[in-house]
Structure 1
């Protein structure tokens, strides 16, 4: 049981957990989940950690579909910061408590500003990492935003 799943249980929301065999040689964890679970890559979202103003001690979370990419400029604007850069992977792991490729937006060690791409609004449920490689949690975008105290913005491309 990961902290992400424990948080969802404690919040008493509707969710499903999906497990699949993770291939350690994979290049794209999100695409791997999409193929393994037979779900459109538009509904599987990757959790990215970004450094605010280039400071790896000041992080935020950006959640975008695996079929697209993060628009750093749009995310920076949504967070009302000067600029964003991708966080150092080691710092992302330390801050979140999860390994890269299994970082969940849910149940991180400390709450961080969180943005969910507005494309999620078209789906009843989306898939995000449940806190380890080979494990996804399916939940509504509204519940994800509530549990992360996040907001929706056009941050993908």
Structure 2
């Protein structure tokens, strides 16, 4: 799963984790977090906001905990891999454990 960081129309930041081969549907994602609209965070803002570089962003250990949503298919797997916080490093974890740690929810958030 890849980790994407967005900014809502209301100024809040949101984290979405989706299968690597999928694309985030911004309208579905906005609905999932109760925002009018959201946009991808510009790459130059990622490091100062999260502490992670583009390509090494993990849903765990950001400078601040942001609302996090996983694609609903996450529940189909015994384990998933997410970034371990640097480019090329991955960590394998049970989705239920990761979601509990993050207080995350699931939703249909990818392009059909």
Question: TM-score, length-normalised on structure 1?
Answer: 0.68
Gaps of 5+ in 2: none
Deviation of 1:104 (Å):
0.2
Question: SS state of the match for residue 85, structure 2?
Answer: strand
| Alignment pair present for 1:48 and 2:13 | no
For 2:34, the equivalent position in structure 1 comes to 80
Corresponding residue to 1:64 among 14, 18, 21: 18
In structure 1, runs of 5+ residues without a counterpart are 1-44
Aligned pair 1:136/2:90, yes or no? yes
Distance (Å, rounded) in 1 between the aligned partners of 2:53 and 2:46: 8
Higher radius of gyration, 1 or 2:
1
Following superposition, the deviation at residue 83 of structure 1 comes to 0.2
**Structural mapping, 1:1-157, within 5 Å:** 45-53=1-9, 55=11, 58-157=12-111
Q: TM-score by structure 2 length?
A: 0.94
Measured on the aligned residues, the alpha-carbon RMSD in Å equals 1.2
Q: What is the CA–CA distance in structure 2 between the aligned matches of 1:97 and 1:150, rounded to whole Å?
A: 20
Aligned length: 111
Runs of 4+ in 1 over 6 A off after TM superposition: none
